[in-house]
Chains A and B, each alone.
Chain A
Amino acid sequence: MKSSVIIFPGSNCDRDMDVALKKFGFDNQMVWHNDVKIPKSDLIVLPGGFSYGDYLRCGSIAGKSRIIKSVIDFANSGGLVLGICNGFQILTETGLLPGILQQNKYLNFICKNVFVKIKNKENKYFKKIKKEVLELHIAHNEGNYFCSNDELKSIEDNNQIAVTYCDHEGNDDEKNNPNGALKNIAGIFNKDKNILGMMPHPERMIDPFLSGEDGSLFFENLIESL
């Protein structure tokens, strides 16, 4: 399976993603933002970080970058596109995913382990994961998901919510919402479920000596489902 990780100036989780993809069997390549073409891939990943410094609005410049047209074409032709953290923000900026990511409710950067509940397994990203709740890691300042009522209705009608913040038992209520995200949304799909954007970083949870190992389940499933 071939994957491509796009490096924007300011990306900083690109290496971590590369390590994770290779660990679980992907033949991964790194693609520079100024390139026009993406090599043949089964999966494209937009990694975390601060693309172009994120000074204007998170992901906004990356959303207009040279490489992004190829990403959009790939996604529109049904290719798998995964955006983690800043990658999620970029995907909302391109319009491939609905909604936006605002600054966290308590205005602070948050770096900690969280639990997320898998809301939809009818897709390649979560299909064979046996658990219902995963322990993942977040590290962001702008992860507070928001969208209009109409968009929310459409997201819900189309089962586009991928994961929600919850406790270890799967209660995805306000008490377990770290950043103020609407409906505790931690990740969403497009309608066709080939595009996934999520704030938590599975690539930081692939080793018992790190924050945990549930990220491994995510990548194991991904390579199996492809």
Chain B
Amino acid sequence: MIEVNEKIAIEHGLKSDEYKKICNLLKRTPNITELGIFSAMWNEHCSYKSSRKHLKKLHTKGNQVIQGPGENAGVVDIEDDDAIVFKIESHNHPSFIEPYQGAATGVGGIMRDVFTMGARPIANLNSIHFGSPDHEKTRNLLRGVVKGIGGYGNCIGVPTIAGQTCFDESYNGNILVNAMTLGLVNKNKIFYSKAAGINKPVIYVGSKTGRDGIHGASMASAIFDDKIEEKKPTVQVGDPFTEKLLLEACLELMAGKSIISIQDMGAAGLTSSSIEMASKGDLGIEIDLTKVPCREENMTPYEIMLSESQERMLIVLEEGKENEAKKIFDKWNLDFAVIGKTTSSKNIELFFKNEKVAEIPIDFLADNAPMYDRKWIKTKLPKENNFSKEQFKSLKLGDCLKKILIDPNIADKEWIWDQYDHTVMGDTIQKPGGNAGVVRVHGTNKAVAASVDSSATYCHAHPLTGGKQVVCESWRNMISVGAKPIAITNCLNFGNPEKEKNMGEFVECVEGITEASKYLNYPVVSGNVSFYNETKDKGIKPTPSIGGIGLLSNYKEMMTMELKNEGNYLLVIGKTEGHLDQSVFARNILSEFNGPPPEVNLFNEKQNGMSVLNLKNKNLIETCHDVSLGGILTAISKMGIRSGRGVKLFPLESLVNKFEYFFGEDQGRYIIEIKPENLENVENMLKKDSIHLDKLGLVEGNKITLENDLKLSIDDIKEDYKNWLKEYMVN
């Protein structure tokens, strides 16, 4: 047996004073198994020790919220006893080391979080961030991640309905893979992880335990260096087939009444799942590790407790229901073992070959986990740029647009989502590439919309504004498909929290998220934090990813972004001031990387969004698209490309210069298409509510035109826009 000392504790990722705290709590030196358990429970990934203090501030309440943060996933009410269980989670560190398996197990893990609660997964989404397209690793990482996401989700048979892909050099050494799943459950049949009752059997089901993924959670709490390749063995290996069986078996068992609590074995495997169940139930737990089904020979208690082998669940059953449950798992050919029981001791007690190998009071691991109030600094709002007329003089609208449409962050991502099964389950009514993905609630008239957003550029320039902006963009995506926004899940990807600058970015983004979600009544119900996205002292830009969901009470009223009919009017709702700082135009055309992000005015955001929903409810909108990256001209180009229709733009009435007007990234705006006969009615309604609107143009022909300034055929821009990524990937 290895002798435990401070050096070994530090090798486990613990700090010197944390090790001292452990010894003091136990009043003795822990053995190696116990040390392993402490290190797994006290790392950043499991304990949220740097973030806990700030996460408490998040806005998590609302009439529609059934379960907020703290469970396997959040749950919201979508009426008629239906509820949606959903969450987003990061799998960044493993995906950089081994993109296929890292991404695949990220998808597997988040789906388990959702079906652990009794919900059948109905949609997957993802937000993935890569380094600069020119970086030598980007292409292979992208290929591997996309294949991994597809490989897992396609096999399970859950459609991947939307997502987001970004490129930025700050991710050169740390890519981001955030996976999100939505599940459907009857709101009276939700399962939780809180154990209850003494002497209840603790059951292990699913795959066997192997040596893969040992210390995965610790790896995810560390920064990268040159030796990162050596960490490959800490990446778990996914088996979607077993997960599919586990999903069906669990749902079958859940249809009965034998489960007291259930928890998937995710990060820190058997350790965190058993401790979490006991801790929430204020109980003890006793496990005989000899009974854990193992894939490899001679596994030690340490290895069994820290393995992150996938596709495993821990269940506390009602006494006497073991045989009934076993029958179901036998049918699905999955391992089933009674490995322990709940106790009144409030300790975790582990046995191996008839010997006690560990005993730790549960509250040492959970409640006594370190919590840090890390130092942080505020980011000042950068000074605005004053672009001179000279800078625009030689520019042509058409040339700028063409260049922007092949910006890696704007160009079409069909190459990616064609590799994801997005139509299985037969309810996908809005596919990837639109404002949001939409799936019907099977067998009803309802539908759920979902999207994922991030805007690292804005968050980097000013984290407080950026945090607000991402929530608003998510809200706008819901409105744009005609859904009432319900709630969000957040995946907070940041650099090293021990650095004041990074910690400040985190704190201020969370503040921004909180402010916007409170104002918009768009609460956060689940999420996770990923710190230490840093390689050799270079951290990523602050990247909170927001996954939003919304409800359509009648799916037939869903809006799409394809232009519908010749002669219809296009209106812009919301005011265009022409904010170019931090826009794609500023970076790509003017090579200007400084300045503040566009201001977020929550009052206008809400008013404008509600007015769009109002018009939609009165059946006055034919098409809707929110204006985001690349501004108005980029938005109408995408609408044109998807429908093969052109737009005749009206001469500008605004005093703003045309580049600022067409490429500015002001917030809170939508483009809507309306029939000519509804124009007056729509104008009056908006005026009454003091909503700003511009008459932008008419749906006409197959070109985008503006007097003598612009004439581009849709076919022409379509080809470049559609081909950029495909060509990049084959080169």
Residues of A within 8 A of B (CB): 9-10, 12-13, 15-16, 19-20, 34, 48-50, 52-55, 108-112, 137, 139, 141, 201, 203-204, 206-207, 209-211
The reply to whether A53 and B419 form a contact with Cβ atoms under 8 Å apart is: no
Asked if B154 and A16 sit within 8 Å, CB to CB, the answer is no
Which of B239, B419, B426 is close to A110, meaning CB atoms less than 8 Å apart? B419
In-complex Cβ contact of B241 among A52, A137, A204 (8 A): A52
B241 & A10 in contact (Cβ 8 Å cutoff): yes
B417: chain A residues at CB < 8 Å are 111
Contact yes or no, B419 A16, CB < 8 A: no
Q: Which one of A12, A203, A209 lies within 8 Å of B244 (CB-CB)?
A: A12
A105 and B157 alpha carbons, distance in the complex (Å): 23
Q: Please give, as numbers and ranges, the residues of chain B lying within 8 Å of A108 by CB-CB distance.
A: 147, 418-419
Q: Which residues of B contact A207 (CB under 8 A)?
A: 426
Q: Check A137 against B423 for contact (C-beta < 8 Å).
A: yes
Q: A110-B418, A139-B421 are in contact. Are A12 and B157 (CB under 8 A)?
A: yes
Closest-CB distance, A135 to chain B (whole angstroms): 13
Query: Is the CB–CB distance between A9 and B332 below 8 Å?
Result: yes
State whether B424 touches A9 (Cβ < 8 A): no
| B100 CB, nearest partner CB in chain A, Å | 13
User: Is B66 part of the binding interface, using a Cβ–Cβ cutoff of 8 Å?
Assistant: no
CA distance A211 to B147 in the complex (A): 23
CB distance from A206 to the nearest CB of B (A): 8
Choose from B239, B418, B421 the contact partner of A53 (Cβ within 8 Å).
B239
Residues from chain B with Cβ under 8 Å of A34 in the complex: 331
Question: What chain A residues lie within 8 Å of B150 (beta carbons)?
Answer: 109
From 528 to 559 in chain B, residues with beta carbon under 8 angstroms from any chain A beta carbon are 555-556, 558
4 tightest A-B CB contacts, nearest first: A12-B157, A53-B241, A16-B426, A209-B429
Residues of chain A within 8 A (CB-CB) of B418 are: 108-112
**B426: chain A residues within 8 A (beta carbon):** 15-16, 19-20, 203-204, 206-207, 210
Please indicate which of the listed interface residues B244, B332, B426 has the most CB atoms of chain A within 10 Å of its own CB.
B426
Sample of 18 more A-B contacts, CB < 8 Å, known A52-B241, A53-B241, A111-B423: A9-B333, A12-B244, A15-B426, A19-B426, A50-B154, A53-B155, A110-B418, A111-B417, A111-B420, A111-B422, A112-B418, A137-B423, A139-B423, A201-B423, A209-B429, A209-B556, A210-B428, A211-B423
Residues of B within 8 A of A53 (CB): 155, 239-242
Please pick, from B156, B425, B429, the residue contacting A15 in the complex, using a CB distance under 8 A: B425
Per-position contact with A for B413-449: 1 when CB-CB < 8 Å, else 0? Answer: 0000111111111111101000000001000000000
B245 at the interface (CB under 8 A from A): yes
- Minimum Cβ distance to chain B for residue A218 (Å): 14
Given known contacts A109-B150, A111-B421, A209-B555, A50 and B428 CB-to-CB distance under 8 angstroms: no
In the complex, chain A residues whose CB is within 8 Å of the CB of B244: 9-10, 12, 50
> Which residues of B are found within 8 Å of A141, using beta-carbon distances?
154
Contact of A109 among B154, B242, B333, B558 (CB under 8 A): B154
Sampled A-B contacts (8; CB under 8 Å): A12-B157, A12-B424, A15-B425, A19-B426, A52-B241, A111-B419, A209-B555, A211-B423
B425 near A109 with CB under 8 A, answer no
Please report the C-alpha to C-alpha distance between residue A56 and residue B556 in the assembled complex, in whole angstroms.
43
Q: A171 vs B64: C-alpha distance in the bound complex, in angstroms?
A: 52
A13 and B423 within 8 A (CB): no
Bound state CA distance, A108 and B556, in angstroms?
Answer: 33
Checking A10, A19, A206 against B155 with a beta-carbon cut-off of 8 angstroms, the contacting residue is: A10
CB < 8 Å neighbour of B424 from A10, A13, A112: A13
Q: In the bound complex, do residue A109 and residue B155 qualify as a contact, i.e. CB atoms below 8 Å apart? A: no
Give CA–CA (A108, B142) in the complex, Å.
13
| Residue tally, chain B, CB below 8 Å to A | 34
Is A16 within 8 A of B421, CB to CB? no
Residue in B closest to A113 when the chains form the complex, CB atoms: B423
Query: Given A19-B426, A50-B241, is A12 in contact with B156 using a C-beta cutoff of 8 Å?
Result: yes
Which residues in A have their C-beta under 8 angstroms from that of B440? 209
B670 → chain A closest CB, angstroms: 23
Residues of chain A lying within 8 A (CB to CB) of residue B154: 50, 109, 111, 139, 141
Shortest CB-to-CB span from A104 to chain B, Å, is 10
1/0 per residue, CB under 8 A from A, across B236-252: the answer is 00011110110000000
State the CA gap A48–B424 with chains docked (Å). 10
Q: Which residue of B lies closest to A13 (CB)?
A: B424
With both chains docked as a complex, state the minimum distance between the C-beta of B429 and any C-beta of chain A, in angstroms. 5
Chain B residue at smallest Cβ distance from A106: B730
Instruction: Give the docked Cα–Cα distance between A105 and B426 (Å).
Output: 27
Instruction: Report the Cα distance A19→B558, complex, angstroms.
Output: 23
Q: Which residues B296-342 have CB closer than 8 A to chain A?
A: 331-333
Please give, as numbers and ranges, the residues of chain A lying within 8 Å of B427 by CB-CB distance: 210
Q: In the assembled complex, how far is the CB of residue B319 from the closest CB belonging to chain A, in whole angstroms?
A: 30
Which residues of chain A have C-beta atoms less than 8 A from B333's C-beta?
Answer: 9
CA distance A49 to B247 in the complex (A): 15
Q: Which residues of A contact B556 (CB under 8 A)?
A: 209
Question: In this complex, what residue of B is CB-closest to A14?
Answer: B157
Asked whether, in the complex, the Cβ of B424 is within 8 Å of the Cβ of A16, the reply is: yes
Inter-chain CA distance A137–B150, complex, in Å, is: 17
Q: Is the CB of B429 within 8 A of A210?
A: yes
Closest-by-CB residue of A relative to B156 is A12
Instruction: State the CA gap A23–B114 with chains docked (Å).
Output: 30
Q: Are A50 and B332 in contact (CB under 8 A)?
A: no
**Chain B residue nearest to A178 in the complex (CB):** B418
A109 — which chain B residues lie within 8 A by C-beta? 147, 150-151, 154, 418-421
CB neighbours (8 Å) of B147 from chain A are 108-109
Q: Which of B240, B331, B431, B555 contacts A50 (CB 8 A)?
A: B240
| CB neighbours of B240 from chain A (8 A) | 50, 53
**Closest Cβ–Cβ distance, residue A195 to chain B (whole Å):** 24
Residues of B within 8 A of A13 (CB): 157, 424
Q: Across the two chains, which residue of chain A brings its CB closest to B427?
A: A210
Within 8 A of A (CB), among B639-673: none
Interface pair A16/B425, CB less than 8 Å apart: yes
Residues in B whose Cβ lies below 8 Å from that of A48: 424
Chain A nearest Cβ from B327, distance in angstroms: 13
